Amino acid sequence: MRVSKLFTKTLKNAPADEVAKNAQLLIRAGYVYKEMAGVYAYLPLGLRVIEKIKQIVREEMNGIDSNELIMTTLQRKEIWEKTTRWDDEIVDVWFKTRLKDDTELGLGWSHEEPIVEMMKQYVSSYKDLPISLYQFQTKMRNELRAKSGIMRGREFVMKDMYSFHASKEDMDAYYEQAIEAYKRVYDRLGIGNDTYVTFASGGAFTKFSHEFQTICDAGEDIIYLHREKNVAVNEEVIDDAVKELGIAREELEKVKTAEVGNIFNFGTQKTDEMDLYFTGEDGKQHSLYIGSYGIGITRVMGVVAEKMSDEKGLVWPENIAPFKVYLVSIGEKGSTKADELYKELTDKGVEVLYDDRDERPGTKFADAELTGIPYRVTVSDRAIESNEYELTNRGDGSTAKLPIDDLRAKLLELV
């Protein structure tokens, strides 16, 4: 894409009321636009990052035989009343609205109940099980405060997956598969090394659920961590965990983290509450086992922006950067040559953001750094003359000077 065709601009300042570093950077670099606290539009660059994160998650969820679908934002009161979760005293993040005939509706803050309700149409026999399904849904949560930028939104994108099983054994096996798929997701997103499977509070059915917590100063959680043993415990269950797991509290390090995913085993609780049953091989009616698995897509983007950035701007990991290459043209011959290179690279599938604007080199370099694209290539009159082209790595700041053929070969590896 040509920067001259992009409608966004980098900005000197984020809005004065924006206190979160992730949103400040993302707004300044033209990735997001703040509609109101906790509600952000995703501009062309931001949408590309979201879609890349989604695609990684999609591939891993498809890999464990989950089916993608999309549920609705508008939700019926009756469904949520079955589990008492319509009540604002019990769920305090509802946005509610009304039809013309005054029927109350809710805006989906979660989709557990509607998914279970829907499954009544598709599950009757043990032959229909197991089932796993997921969606990328825009969730609405009426948060009292929303000061963490895109890390805690009132409107945000979440991947939520649900699995349905005939037996505890099958449920447990899938739960383990999901943990492994989640680990692959965070590895591919570039935050695997700082993300820990963390014991968190369970429910009626299990003592613990599992959260995926990423070390992050701007996070809202505290976990206790044993890096060598790879054990992590959410503060909320530390007393129980110390007892259960036989670990000494003193050995654990207290760190600030952001929850980037969670998985939860409901057992048969939801089935029973919502009257979803199946007929077993024995001809009798049985309860289903249900698991629920979330990943905050926009939150992950915020966490990466917080963690992978410096005083100059964002530093995207290659897998989720909106473009791989930021191509800067300088001078007249530089522009002609850069046009050629841009065409060649994009034709061959390299994702290039081409700064073809009539701006000073300093402005282009600063924008390249703020935008955080992994590789910057500079095509100037001087580079052409000397056949020495600058290839700058945004991550470590290093610059190599390469003849055009070597440069081209290196860039084509980025497909």
Binding site for a second copy (CB under 8 A): 5-9, 11, 33, 35-36, 39-44, 46-47, 50, 65, 67-76, 95-100, 105, 107, 114, 118-119, 121-122, 128, 131-133, 138, 140, 142-144, 154-155
Q: At its nearest, how many Å lie between a second copy and the CB of residue 151?
A: 16
Output 119 or 383, the one with its CB closest to a second copy.
Answer: 119
Q: Is the dihedral of CA 156, 33, 143, 77 positive or negative?
A: negative
Q: What is the rounded distance in angstroms from the CA atom of residue 283 to the CA atom of residue 171?
A: 21
Q: At its nearest, how many Å lie between a second copy and the CB of residue 135?
A: 9
Q: At its nearest, how many Å lie between a second copy and the CB of residue 63?
A: 12
Output 107 or 225, the one with its CB closest to a second copy.
Answer: 107
Contact predicate 233/221, CB 8 Å: no
Interhelix angle 44-63/297-307, rounded to 10 degrees, is 120
Output 156 or 224, the one with its CB closest to a second copy.
Answer: 156
Output 128 or 390, the one with its CB closest to a second copy.
Answer: 128
Q: At its nearest, how many Å lie between a second copy and the CB of residue 29?
A: 13
Cβ burial, residue 147 (10 Å; 0-12/13-18/19+) = middle
Angle at 294 between CA 291 and CA 300, to 5 degrees: 160
Contact predicate 85/91, CB 8 Å: yes
Output 85 or 307, the one with its CB closest to a second copy.
Answer: 85
Output 67 or 84, the one with its CB closest to a second copy.
Answer: 67
Q: At its nearest, how many Å lie between a second copy and the CB of residue 147?
A: 14
Q: At its nearest, how many Å lie between a second copy and the CB of residue 276?
A: 13
Output 3 or 231, the one with its CB closest to a second copy.
Answer: 3
Omega before 130 within 30 of 0, i.e. cis: yes
Q: Which candidate, 86, 106, 109, 90, places its Cα nearest to that of 98?
A: 106
Q: At its nearest, how many Å lie between a second copy and the CB of residue 381?
A: 24
The amino acid at residue 348 is: K
For residue 362, give the H/E element and its range.
helix 361-371
Q: At its nearest, how many Å lie between a second copy and the CB of residue 242?
A: 36
Q: At its nearest, how many Å lie between a second copy and the CB of residue 35?
A: 5
Q: What is the rounded distance in angstroms from the CA atom of residue 34 to the CA atom of residue 14?
A: 9
Q: Which candidate, 154, 160, 156, places its Cα nearest to that of 93?
A: 154
Q: What is the rounded distance in angstroms from the CA atom of residue 339 to the CA atom of residue 354?
A: 9
For residue 102, give the H/E element and its range.
none
Output 47 or 222, the one with its CB closest to a second copy.
Answer: 47
Q: How far is CA 200 from the centre of its chain?
A: 20
Contact predicate 377/391, CB 8 Å: yes
Residue 350 in tokens: 């390299």
The amino acid at residue 256 is: K
Output 24 or 392, the one with its CB closest to a second copy.
Answer: 24
Residue 341 in tokens: 């290179």
